[in-house]
Amino acid sequence: MYKQLTKITSRPDLFEHCNASALWTDKHRAQHMLAYHLNEAIDVSSRNMDFIDRSATWLGKTFDLASGKRLCDFGCGPGLYTSRLAQTGAQVTGIDFSENSIAYARQQARDQKQDIEYIHSNYLNFHSTEKFDLITLIMCDYCALNPQQRSQLLNTIVHSLKDDGHLVFDVYSLSAFAEKQETCSLEHNQLNHFWSDKEYFCFLNTYRYEAEHVMLDQYTIIDENDHFETVYNWLQYFSPENIRTELRHAGLEITDMYANVAGDTFSDTDTEFAIVARPTKKA
Ligand SMILES: C[S@@+](CC[C@H](N)C(=O)[O-])C[C@H]1O[C@@H](n2cnc3c(N)ncnc32)[C@H](O)[C@@H]1O
């Protein structure tokens, strides 16, 4: 018992274990995630519908989507943005590795008679033969990736964008990092049976990686049969300068920054900010 508790409460090295896909692709958890996406009362998994409406309107106007532009939403979830963006006249593709969310999005598109292409895939490995005018990655998903995954994703995006195309995404800021604290808790059936429909206890250990501006939520789930599972949810927080440097290395340059993906005015005290970037022009 003492040895197990020591293991549960020991801080891993930065990005030592990465398995956050277990949050989205596991069958049981994917159903909880879908319920969060569709719950208008909470900004979990997706933001509220008023925000999404506002964001889709802003994206439509800013990127002239009505002229039949081609866009791809990376991590589209159940299609809350794609369904709205398709109404602007854009040709829309959505990619997600949650089978449950993609199945829901496809059904919605059939019901609404919308022509949206949904791809069930990991966006890190996405290879497209067509190039897009706009790629979106919404709800700070970029922050959940480790440096190697971020580099792989930016490489995929650069190869998938037209020369005059744009990437729009949002990230957590250093103001958000400043508010974060290390915590340790133990809860029975934590998050209302999110982890399993069986009985379990869940330890949540939250660690700060000060110099790197990274937080880790480490969940250790112990079920009735003493089976242990540990899920590592890393989050990287960014300054505008950090993200500019990371994008530049990948061949992207920032053209604008906003408070969010609905185009509100940027402020360096907000907990999140949104970035518009395009492929660096070749000399
Ligand atoms: C926080 S949710 C945001 C969903 C959507 N962008 C929104 O704001 O409504 C993150 C989504 O990204 C998907 N996702 C995360 N990593 C992914 C990956 N590597 N490849 C494909 N989808 C991924 C998850 O399944 C989930 O649907």
Assess whether the C-beta atom of 52 lies below 6 angstroms from ligand 1: no
Ligand 1: centre distance to CA 180 (Å)? 23
What pLDDT is attached to residue 45? 85
Counting atoms of ligand 1 from 1, which one is nearest the CA of 138?
6
Assess whether the C-beta atom of 75 lies below 6 angstroms from ligand 1: yes
H or E stretch covering 222: strand 214-223
Ligand 1: centre distance to CA 91 (Å)? 20
Q: Which amino acid is at 235?
A: L
pLDDT tens, residue order, the chain (283 aa)? 899 899 999 999 999 999 999 899 999 999 999 999 898 888 888 899 999 999 999 999 999 999 999 999 999 999 999 999 999 999 999 999 999 999 999 999 999 999 999 999 999 999 988 899 999 999 999 999 999 999 999 999 999 999 999 999 999 999 999 999 999 999 999 999 999 999 999 999 999 999 999 999 999 999 999 999 999 999 999 999 999 999 999 999 999 999 999 999 999 899 999 999 999 987 7
Ligand 1: centre distance to CA 76 (Å)? 6
Burial of 222 (0-12, 13-18, 19+ CB in 10 A): middle
Ligand 1: centre distance to CA 75 (Å)? 3
Q: Which CATH code is given to the segment(s) 27-173+237-279?
A: 3.40.50.150
Assess whether the C-beta atom of 90 lies below 6 angstroms from ligand 1: no
The model's pTM? 0.96
Q: Report the DSSP beta bridge partners of residue 232.
A: 218
| DSSP-derived secondary structure letter, 137 | E
| DSSP-derived secondary structure letter, 237 | -
Ligand 1: centre distance to CA 226 (Å)? 31
Distances, alpha carbon 106 to alpha carbons 42, 50, 75, 95, 157, in Å: 24, 22, 14, 11, 23
| Minimal-distance CA residue to ligand 1 atom 15 | 75
Distances, alpha carbon 163 to alpha carbons 26, 158, 280, in Å: 37, 9, 8
H or E stretch covering 72: strand 70-74
Pocket probe mutation, ligand 1, options 97, 135, 156, max atoms within 8 Å of Cβ: 97
